[in-house]
C-alpha cells in the first residue's frame, strides 16, 4: 500500500512539473493571464492538443465544454493563418458571454464559433436521469465537414450523480468523425470517464489510451500518431 501511494505521489509530482513547463511554452500562444482552476484542463493536455493540431494539420475541431482550451486553440489558429474550423459547445450561456468578450478583446473572435446548446435528456443519454447538449441545436450549428479532432471536456461530470454525462458524445459524433482523427476525453482519473471510455471501446471498436502524464486524458487516435509530448 505504501509503495502504491508513493507511486501515485510521484506520478502527480511529475505531472505538476510538466504542467509548469507547459505553461511556459503556452505563453507563446496567449500571454494574458487566465484564471486556471482545479476544473481547468491541465496545461500539459492543452499542449498535447495544440501539438496535435499543428503536426497533423487538423482542419475541423469540435470541443464539448468551452473555456481555456477555446482561447488557446483560437490563438494557435490565428498564428497558423490556416483554414481551421473551431466549434466550441457549452450549455452555460452566461459563461459563453464572458468567453465571447475575452475572445473579442484579444482579436480571436473570428477563429471560433461558440455554440450555446442547453442540456436536456435525449436518446443518447445513459438513462432518463442524465442530460446532454440539445442534439437539435447541434444539428443546426455543427459544420457538415468531417471532424478530425474531438475534445470532450463537458458537460460537467464532477459530481457523482452525473458521472456519465459525457457518454452521449460519441453516440452523437461518431458518424461525423473523419477517417484520420483523434478523440480526447479529459479527466481520465475519474470513474465516470474511465467507464465511459470502456463503453465506447466496446460499442465503437475504438481503443482509448489512458495517458495520465500527458495531462490526465484518454486518447483514441486513428491515422498517424506523432506528438512531441
DSSP state of 134: -
User: Is the bond preceding 155 in cis, omega lying within 30 degrees of 0?
Assistant: yes
CA 36/CA 23 separation, integer angstroms: 11
The continuous run of DSSP H or E covering 103 comes out as helix 93-105
Query: Which sign does the torsion angle of CA 61, 192, 200, 47 carry?
Result: positive
188-222 pLDDT tens trace: 888 999 999 999 999 999 999 999 889 999 999 99
Taking residues 101-121, what's their average pLDDT? 96
What is the pLDDT, as a whole number, of residue 175?
96
Please determine, for residue 226, whether its predicted confidence score (pLDDT) is greater than 90: no
Cα 58 from chain centre: 14
What is the pLDDT, as a whole number, of residue 28?
85
26, 113 Cβ separation under 8 angstroms? no
% the chain with pLDDT above 70: 93
What is the pLDDT, as a whole number, of residue 83?
92
The continuous run of DSSP H or E covering 100 comes out as helix 93-105
Please determine, for residue 79, whether its predicted confidence score (pLDDT) is greater than 60: yes
Question: Please, what are the domains in the chain?
Answer: 2-222 (3.40.50.150)
Going from the C-alpha of 167 to that of each of 22, 147, 152, the distances in angstroms are 29, 18, 10
What is the pLDDT, as a whole number, of residue 16?
83
72, 32 Cβ separation under 8 angstroms? no
Please determine, for residue 161, whether its predicted confidence score (pLDDT) is greater than 80: no
What is the pLDDT, as a whole number, of residue 9?
63
217, 184 Cβ separation under 8 angstroms? yes
Taking residues 93-101, what's their average pLDDT? 96
CA 30/CA 132 separation, integer angstroms: 30
9, 2 Cβ separation under 8 angstroms? no
What is the pLDDT, as a whole number, of residue 60?
98
Please determine, for residue 6, whether its predicted confidence score (pLDDT) is greater than 90: no
Amino acid at each position: 500500500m505504501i509503495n502504491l501511494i508513493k507511486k501515485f505521489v510521484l506520478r502527480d509530482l511529475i505531472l505538476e512539473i510538466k504542467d509548469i513547463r507547459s505553461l511556459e511554452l503556452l505563453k507563446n500562444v496567449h500571454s494574458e493571464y487566465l484564471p486556471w482552476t482545479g476544473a481547468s484542463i491541465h496545461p500539459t493536455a492543452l499542449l498535447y492538443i495544440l501539438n496535435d493540431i499543428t503536426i497533423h494539420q487538423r482542419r475541423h475541431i469540435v470541443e464539448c465544454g468551452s473555456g481555456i482550451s477555446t482561447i488557446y486553440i483560437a490563438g494557435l489558429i490565428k498564428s497558423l493563418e490556416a483554414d481551421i474550423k473551431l466549434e466550441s459547445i457549452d450549455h452555460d450561456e452566461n459563461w459563453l458571454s464572458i468567453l465571447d468578450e475575452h475572445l473579442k478583446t484579444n482579436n480571436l473572435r473570428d477563429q471560433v464559433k461558440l455554440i450555446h446548446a442547453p442540456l436536456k435528456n435525449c436518446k443518447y443519454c445513459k438513462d432518463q436521469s442524465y442530460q446532454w447538449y440539445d442534439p437539435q441545436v447541434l444539428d443546426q450549428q455543427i459544420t457538415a465537414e468531417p471532424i478530425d479532432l474531438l475534445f470532450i471536456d463537458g458537460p460537467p461530470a464532477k459530481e457523482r450523480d452525473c458521472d456519465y454525462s459525457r457518454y452521449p458524445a460519441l453516440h452523437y459524433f461518431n458518424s461525423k468523425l473523419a477517417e484520420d482523427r483523434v478523440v480526447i476525453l479529459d479527466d481520465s482519473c475519474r470513474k465516470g470517464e474511465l467507464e465511459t471510455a470502456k463503453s465506447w471501446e466496446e460499442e465503437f471498436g475504438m481503443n482509448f489510451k489512458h495517458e495520465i502524464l500527458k495531462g490526465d486524458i484518454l486518447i483514441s487516435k486513428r491515422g498517424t500518431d506523432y506528438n512531441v509530448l
